Amino acid sequence: MYRYFVYLNRELPSNTKVVDFFPKFLIGDKAPALLAADVAQGIAFQLQRKRSKYTAPEWVWTLIQSYYEGQYLRYYRRFYSLLNKYQPKCIALWNGHRLPEFAIKHLAQQLNIPVVHFENGLLPNTTTFDLSGVNDANSLPREASFYKAQAAIERSTPIAQRNLVTRKFHRSKKSRAKSHIFHKSLPEKFIFVPFQVKFDSQVLLNSPRIKTMYELYRWIEYAMQQSNDRDLKFVIKEHPSDPHKYSELYDKNPQIIFSNRDTKELIEQSEAVITINSSVGIEALLLHKSVIVLGEACFGIQGLTHPLSSMEQLPIVINQLSGSQPDTILIEQFLSYLEHQYSVRGSWRNPNSMHVQALTEKFTSVIGTPVGHW
């Protein structure tokens, strides 16, 4: 990501500067006072993420919290000095959830400087550029009527040829992922359930009802028990990037199967996809599958998908799937808006001149003629 911003610093037609997050100590302008509540909000995600990854006595977490509070104050003071020095017209950040980014966003709000959030694109081979935030905090409208009013531009790629993003397995899972237990024949009729990284911001921040994959499994078990179709099974795929292994769940229920088959194959052969708010939800829309959304997501739009607010709703929707079909016209209108108006063409991992041109237009819409610091 740092290399990507260095590339943009070199290629964008403006006076830009890349600043790293290394917490330097400096004497500079005196920053405005911070309230304890501001600091607590600024470190909340960092602390929550660490707690989800590691187990430690409470006194250890008290020390870590004190350390993060000190870090937040240092970032806040350092970047107040830098912003006063350079007086940028715009600030670009990656994601925006981590501790240093919260300090910068806090300052930007006080100084009335727009902040652009970069992230992986919602569609394959795209990049997100959003002034509001990423994931559920992004600026995409949440009403189906908005997309129905858009003219869907016909996608040149047929559904069967639409490629999805390939996710690499965590180093601790690479060899284990090839085990025959994860590559058995798929059931004749199943719903696909992708697990998510347990310490990912999508789960920690945008999933008010399901906080762990064990809870997601419990929802699936409940839906299975209430299903009218005794032949219906559920296929779960652990997130390749999550180092955690859910071994104790593999043989817990014969109706719930774990698989490491290709994600596209799992989506294509499934009756539907159930997700908290994974990007697999949008990939399922690309393949015109019904999507049931259990958390908060930018694609959790009634009519486009099936957004739920309780576990009791899940078997009701599942039992109605056989009598309904996804609204493919609305899906294509939504995807068309993502591709042609919302997303930046090209992945940040392999930027080219077209990507830079698209970003130049995006930045110009934010700050006007590309002159001065970004």
Q: What is the pLDDT of residues 39-55, one digit of tens each?
A: 999 999 999 999 998 99
pLDDT band at 170 (very low <50, low <70, confident <90, very high): low
Question: Beta strands 233-237 and 190-194: pairing type?
Answer: parallel
Q: Which of 23-37, 283-297, 349-363 has the lowest mean pLDDT?
A: 23-37
pLDDT value at 368 more than 90: no
CA distances from 303 to 91, 149, 195, 271, 334 (A): 36, 14, 24, 17, 11
Q: pLDDT exceeding 70 applies to what percent of the chain?
A: 93
Residue 369 has pLDDT above 80, yes or no: no
- Section 122-149 average pLDDT: 96
Tens-digit pLDDT profile for residues 317-333: 999 998 889 999 999 99
SS3 category, 172: coil
Please say if the pLDDT value at position 58 is more than 80. Answer: yes
Instruction: Give the predicted TM-score (pTM) of the model.
Output: 0.91
Average pLDDT over residues 175-195: 85
Inter-residue contact 124 to 164 (CB < 8 Å):
yes
Least confident range of 136-140, 173-177, 205-209, 211-215 = 173-177
So what's the pLDDT on residue 25? 59
Please name the residues in contact with 158: beta carbons below 8 A apart, sequence gap of 6 or more.
Answer: none
- More confident of the two residues 373 and 200: 200
**Can you tell me the distance from the alpha carbon of 302 to that of 319, in angstroms, rounded to the nearest whole number?**
17
Decide if pLDDT at 370 tops 60: no
The Cα–Cα gap between 215 and 219 comes to 6
* Closest C-alpha to 236, from 201, 306, 199, 184: 184
pLDDT value for 24: 64
Q: CA distances (Å), 351 to each of 13, 125, 222, 247, 365, in order?
A: 15, 10, 45, 39, 20
Average pLDDT over residues 276-289: 96
The overall average pLDDT reported for the chain is 91
Q: What is the pLDDT of residue 154?
A: 64
pLDDT band at 371 (very low <50, low <70, confident <90, very high): very low
Instruction: Average the pLDDT over 286-300 and give the result.
Output: 97
Mean pLDDT confidence for 277-305: 97
**Domains in the chain with CATH codes:** 2-121+344-367 (no CATH), 144-336 (3.40.50.2000)
Please give the helix or strand (H or E) that residue 306 lies within, else none. strand 306-307
Mean pLDDT value across residues 54-62:
95
DSSP annotation of 198:
T
**What is the pLDDT confidence band of residue 244, given thresholds at 50, 70 and 90?**
confident
Tell me the two tokens of residue 118: 């970069």
3-state helix, strand, coil in the chain (%, to 5): 45, 10, 45
pLDDT tens-digit map of 202-217 = 999 999 999 999 999 9
Q: Give 321's DSSP letter.
A: G
Beta partners for 236? 193, 258
Q: Is the pLDDT of residue 255 over 60?
A: yes
- For 272, list phi and psi in degrees, rounded to 5: -170, 175
Q: How many of the other CB atoms lie within 10 Å of CB of 296?
A: 19
